[in-house]
Amino acid sequence: MTRASSEAADSAAGSGAGAGAREFLARARRLVDARLDELVPAETCEPAAVHAAIRWSLLAGGKRLRPALVLAAGETFGAREEELLSTACAFEFVHTYSLVHDDLPAMDDDELRRGRPTCHVRFGEATAILAGDALQSLAFQTVAEDSALDAGTRVRVVAELARAAGTPAGMVAGQAYDLAAEARDGVTAAELESIHRHKTGALIAAAARCGALIARATARELEAVTKYAAQLGLLFQITDDLLDVTATADALGKTPGKDARAQKATSPSLHGLAAARARARAACDEACAALDALGRPAPVLRSLARLTLERRA
């Protein structure tokens, strides 16, 4: 176990989502932000507009949940930080590309993201489309060129990441389901769960799985981590929807109340605030229960679930 996760373990042992977990997240974010900066061409490198757009969207202070999950899951099973960092960044590249494309006028038509104008508002639609496309390529290039991993591991990570990003099982499918749901009246709870499972759940689950894969976790450990991450993804989406109802634009860095105005189906709109909160708690408990199948404590993964439940932004 590395320094970051053992500190988290010390602290989290007694306190649920304690200071140790927050420290782990802060450290993961520093490490990931530094590596992201290294992996992306400079703004002075041509084509400058595309690189500026990539940097605008990528380095705008995201939570880095997916990279943190790669690190947390990997360190839980004994992988070294250096083995995990490039894969962690690859997940952030894919996540950021999806935000850039989802914000486009033809998609969700969002103008504010992480407290700043969205990529296409700042750089124009063409450059935003290209920045997203390039980020996706960069994700796979980063894994394929990661000299900290053997070839077999790189191939497994590329395959996991690609399946989680694409269709029919991944993020693109989820965005398609989401757009289709918005275009018609009435979405069932099962449909909403399917949207979430594909749109955000697949990539979150793959992040945790890839961390564990890199650490050569056993099939049984991988299964437990997959269950954990599926619940964490659901939890993350429900808390996202709750924050859209309850938070301020300042705290969120994006326009709140947008779901309601768009009459978008969310956990709160479908089940009510109290029931949505109860579902979030249940998802957090199930995530932690899945970890019980591991023969080890996994305090950082537990704390990440608690922190997600308690998040305010």
Length of the chain as a residue count: 313
**Residue found under tokens 């063409």:** 126
The nearest distance, CB 271 to a copy of itself, in angstroms, is 24
> What CA–CA distance (Å, rounded) separates 175 from 181?
10
Environment class of residue 66 by beta-carbon count within 10 Å: exposed (0-12), middle (13-18) or buried (19+)? buried
Residue 60 or residue 144: which is nearer to a copy of itself going by CB?
Answer: 144
Q: How far is the CB of 189 from a copy of itself (least distance, A)?
A: 18
Instruction: Indicate the residue type of 32.
Output: V
| Least separation in angstroms between CB 24 and a copy of itself | 30
- To which H or E segment does residue 24 belong? helix 19-39
User: Token pair for residue 246?
Assistant: 């309850």
Nearest CB to a copy of itself, comparing residues 146 and 221: 146
CB 36 within 8 A of CB 58: yes
Q: What is the C-alpha to C-alpha distance for residues 218 and 260, in angstroms, rounded to an integer?
A: 43
**Contact between 252 and a copy of itself (CB under 8 A)?**
no
**In whole angstroms, how close is the CB of 157 to a copy of itself at the nearest point?**
8
Which part of the chain contacts a copy of itself (CB under 8 A), choosing from 44-52, 70-78, 225-233, 304-312? 44-52
Please, what is the minimum distance in Å from the beta carbon of residue 168 to a copy of itself? Answer: 5
Q: What is the nearest approach in angstroms of a copy of itself to the Cβ of residue 278?
A: 29
Task: To the nearest 10°, report the CA torsion of 29, 74, 143, 196.
Answer: -70
Contact call for residues 36 and 94 (beta carbons, < 8 A): no
Q: Which is nearer to a copy of itself, 13 or 104 (CB)?
A: 104
Cα separation, 174 vs 168, in Å, equals: 9
CB-count burial class (<10 Å; 0-12, 13-18, 19+) for 137: exposed
Asked if residue 72 lies in contact with residue 84, where contact means CB atoms within 8 angstroms, the answer is no
Phi, psi of 88 (to 5 degrees): -55, -45
Nearer Cβ to a copy of itself (207/284): 207
* Footprint on residues 138-197 left by a copy of itself (CB under 8 A): 138, 140-141, 143-145, 150-152, 154-156, 158-159, 161-163, 165-168, 170, 172-173, 175-177, 179-180
Letters for 74-103 (x = contact with a copy of itself by CB under 8 A, - = none) are -----------------------xx--x--
Site string for a copy of itself, 105-134 (x = CB under 8 A): -xx----------------xxxx-xx-xxx
Interaction site with a copy of itself (CB under 8 A): 41, 45-47, 49-51, 54, 97-98, 101, 104, 106-107, 124-127, 129-130, 132-134, 136-138, 140-141, 143-145, 150-152, 154-156, 158-159, 161-163, 165-168, 170, 172-173, 175-177, 179-180
